[in-house]
Amino acid sequence: MGGGGVVVAVATFAIWFLGSSEALGFKCSSESATCQALIDYKSPNATSYGAIQTLFNITNFIDLVGANARPRTTLPTASVDKDQIVRIPFPCNCTNSIGLSNHLPRYIVKDGDTLSHIAQDVFSGLVTYPQIQQANNIPDANKILVGQDFWIPLPCSCEQVNSTTKVVHYGRIVAAGSSVQQLAQQSGIAQDILLDLNNMTDPNALLAGQIFDVPLRACSLGVRSGSLDSSSLVANGTDLYTANGCVKCSCDSSNDWTAQCEASGSNSTCPSMQCQSSGSNSTQLTIGSSNTTSSCPRATCVYDGYSATANANGTIFTNLVTNSTCPASGASRISFHGSPSNLVLIVIHLVLLSLYLCF
Ligand SMILES: *[C@@H]1O[C@H](CO)[C@@H](O)[C@H](O)[C@H]1NC(C)=O
Ligand SMILES: *[C@@H]1O[C@H](CO)[C@@H](O)[C@H](O)[C@H]1NC(C)=O
Ligand SMILES: *[C@@H]1O[C@H](CO)[C@@H](O)[C@H](O)[C@H]1NC(C)=O
Ligand SMILES: *[C@@H]1O[C@H](CO)[C@@H](O)[C@H](O)[C@H]1NC(C)=O
Ligand SMILES: *[C@@H]1O[C@H](CO)[C@@H](O)[C@H](O)[C@H]1NC(C)=O
Ligand SMILES: *[C@@H]1O[C@H](CO)[C@@H](O)[C@H](O)[C@H]1NC(C)=O
Ligand SMILES: *[C@@H]1O[C@H](CO)[C@@H](O)[C@H](O)[C@H]1NC(C)=O
Ligand SMILES: *[C@@H]1O[C@H](CO)[C@@H](O)[C@H](O)[C@H]1NC(C)=O
Ligand SMILES: *[C@@H]1O[C@H](CO)[C@@H](O)[C@H](O)[C@H]1NC(C)=O
Ligand SMILES: *[C@@H]1O[C@H](CO)[C@@H](O)[C@H](O)[C@H]1NC(C)=O
Ligand SMILES: CC(=O)N[C@H]1CO[C@H](CO)[C@@H](O)[C@@H]1O
């Protein structure tokens, strides 16, 4: 058709819906903040991780691999089943108390598309068409043009749950039969905090299929200040590839929510990841390895951050950490147990002696 574009229409029965101003995003009270967030995508068709990377505009494939804790060697051609849920990592932008994906992913309108098809089918209901319309200031939802470039406003948040607990916000697809109480138990985040984050007051109003913010507890990297990833977080149960993919950091609840990092085994050109020699034998330790697994003391090479251009001869910082809290031997235990009681006896004797001398 002429005119450089084709007018495509949205189902007219849904037009009434445009009147209601639907809430965009999750609650995010900070005035302006950005952070990393996650959302569930339930693929409507069999597809591949590579196709999902393209759909969601994910710059580095390894970020998608890490968010799903897949092996590093996962290829873009790796298949995703119909209805399989894949976690999408994306940058969140909080503005005016609303958290939305930072003007990504972008979607280019194809012949035959309608806004509701894009919202419901292509993005599997993660957004509604009035939300796409509102975010892109589209005057008439029935008039979108082939080749027009939209961004899809995914809900997210950068809100802290409290001053001590680090979290990564995660828009989960609510499974049939789950409850706010159950989600609170699983995540370790109190029910009233969950309700508040989701702008809900009634826990019974939770609907199957709804996108509900269930923050994941997260690990800090514990690297030096000034490192480019010093504010990065690793969500519980995910992997973060940092230092340009050279270092892989994982998070579980052990180790007081500090990430465990190791050389990723990436074959891209990585700078040295070795610690200075330890012990009498000058064995070079690589990030994530120890000079012994059995004996004590043990030296471990720990990731400490990276400088701007880790691939172009930049620097990956390391720290050699010696664990000197060796398990006490049997003999020292006995003497440790013995001395306090001996001390008590001596003190009692001294007190008695001084009493005797005084009177
Ligand atoms: C929360 O809900 C109230 C009332 O339902 C609405 O006015 C407000 O815009 C909502 N806030 C967010 C962040 O969605
Ligand atoms: C976040 O979004 C606001 C409003 O769209 C924009 O002005 C701002 O530049 C964005 N922040 C970042 C860090 O991209
Ligand atoms: C899924 O497959 C069906 C038929 O196989 C097709 O009509 C539909 O457009 C596909 N959806 C997506 C999002 O690719
Ligand atoms: C912070 O929130 C977490 C998760 O809800 C909770 O386990 C922890 O006790 C809270 N800490 C404080 C100091 O409130
Ligand atoms: C952390 O993730 C594991 C699974 O990876 C899960 O079993 C555990 O309950 C999670 N813990 C918290 C506090 O979210
Ligand atoms: C190195 O990377 C290339 C392309 O990225 C890949 O084809 C090859 O299998 C990789 N080799 C190893 C040993 O990982
Ligand atoms: C490991 O390194 C520590 C600290 O340098 C050292 O005391 C210890 O003897 C080393 N152990 C071995 C088995 O080399
Ligand atoms: C140091 O190396 C020598 C020879 O390579 C070996 O015999 C000795 O056991 C090593 N010592 C330690 C503490 O690993
Ligand atoms: C990086 O290192 C390579 C080989 O080690 C060298 O040829 C190249 O000049 C270096 N580049 C910079 C910017 O220093
Ligand atoms: C040091 O080693 C002991 C015994 O193996 C272990 O219990 C402790 O957690 C370790 N401490 C650190 C800081 O790794
Ligand atoms: C980072 C990235 O993948 N950006 C792409 C997002 O999608 C738009 C539209 O398809 C592309 O033009 C960008 O290159």
Please state, for a pLDDT cut of 70, what percent of the chain lies above it: 81
Q: Which residues contact 225 (CB under 8 A, 6 or more apart)?
A: none
Domain assignment of residue 338, yes or no: no
Q: What tens digit of pLDDT does each residue of 335-348 get?
A: 333 344 444 444 45
Q: Let me know whether 120 and 37 are in one domain.
A: yes
Tokens representing 211 are 């996108």
Rounded to the nearest whole angstrom, what is the distance from the C-alpha of residue 257 to the centroid of ligand 1?
A: 33
Q: pLDDT by residue (tens digit) across 47-69?
A: 999 999 999 999 999 999 999 99
Q: Is pLDDT of 265 > 90?
A: no
Please tell me the distance between residue 281's alpha carbon and the centre of ligand 8 in angstroms: 6
137 plus 227 within the same structural domain: no
Identify the three-state secondary structure at position 291: coil
- Distance (Å) from CA 188 to ligand 11 centroid: 36
**Which pLDDT score, from 0 to 100, does residue 15 have?**
33
Residues 6+ apart with CB under 8 A from 292: 298
Give domain status of residue 333, yes or no. Answer: no
Within-domain flag for 243: yes
**Are 202 and 225 contained in the same domain?**
no
Q: Which has the higher per-residue pLDDT, 136 or 327?
A: 136
- Give the nearest ligand 3 atom to 121 CA: 13
| CA of 57, closest atom in ligand 11 | 3
Which secondary structure element, helix H or strand E, spans residue 352, and what is its range?
helix 330-358
pLDDT digits (tens, 9 = 90+) for 285-294: 899 998 887 8
- Our answer on whether the CB atom of 327 is closer than 6 Å to any ligand 10 atom is yes
Residue 187 has pLDDT above 50, yes or no: yes
Residue nearest to atom 6 of ligand 9 (CA): 313
Tokens of 358: 């005084």
Q: Whose CA is nearest to atom 14 of ligand 9?
A: 313
The pLDDT of residue 132 is 95
Cα torsion through 51, 94, 215, 23, rounded to 10:
-80
> In the chain, how many domains are there?
3
Of 165, 192, 214, the one marking the end of a domain is 214
Name the residue range of residue 72's domain: 19-151
Q: Is 90 helix (H, G, I), strand (E, B) or coil?
A: strand
Q: Answer whether residue 287 is part of any domain.
A: yes
Residue 126 contacts residue 39 (beta carbons within 8 Å) = yes
203 falls within a domain: yes
> Do 198 and 232 have their domain in common?
no
- pLDDT at residue 330, as a whole number: 42
Kindly report the CATH number assigned to the domain that includes residue 200: 3.10.350.10
Same domain, 238 and 297: yes
- Ligand in closest contact with the CA of 326: 10
As a whole-number percent, the residues of the chain with pLDDT over 90 amount to: 63
CA distance 234 to 262: 14
d(CA 323, ligand 8 centre) in Å: 20
294 lines ligand 10 (CB under 6 A): no
Q: Distance between CA atoms of 19 and 168, rounded to whole angstroms?
A: 33
Please report the pLDDT score of residue 313 as a whole number.
59
Asked if 208 and 223 sit in the same domain, the reply is no
202 with 119, same domain: the answer is no
In this structure, the answer to whether residues 185 and 236 fall within a common structural domain is: no
- Residues 228, 201 within the same domain: no
User: Are 144 and 43 in a shared domain?
Assistant: yes
Using a 6 Å cutoff on CB, does residue 255 contact ligand 10?
A: no
- Do residue 199 and residue 246 come from a single domain? no
Phi and psi at residue 355, to the nearest 5°: -65, -45
In a domain, residue 6? The reply is no
Residue 280 inside a domain? The answer is: yes
Ligand 1: which residue has its CA nearest to atom 9?
A: 23
Amino acid 11: pLDDT:
36
Atom 13 (ligand 2) nearest CA:
34
Nearest residue CA, atom 12 of ligand 5? 187
Query: Is residue 345 a part of any domain in this protein?
Result: no
Q: Is 255 in the pocket of ligand 1 (CB under 6 A)?
A: no
Residues with CB under 6 A from ligand 9: 312-313
Rounded average pLDDT over 60-82: 97
Q: pLDDT per residue over 221-261, tens digit each?
A: 999 998 999 999 999 999 999 998 999 999 988 888 999 99
pLDDT at 211: 94
- Compute the chain's Rg from CA coordinates: 28
pLDDT at res. 159: 92
Write the pLDDT tens digit of every residue in 138-157. 999 998 999 999 999 999 99
Tokens of 228: 């480019």
- Look at residue 241 and give its three-state secondary structure: strand
268, 246 Cβ separation under 8 angstroms: yes
102 with 125, same domain: the answer is yes
Mapped onto helix, strand or coil, the DSSP state of residue 208 is: coil
258 Cα to the center of ligand 5, angstroms:
14
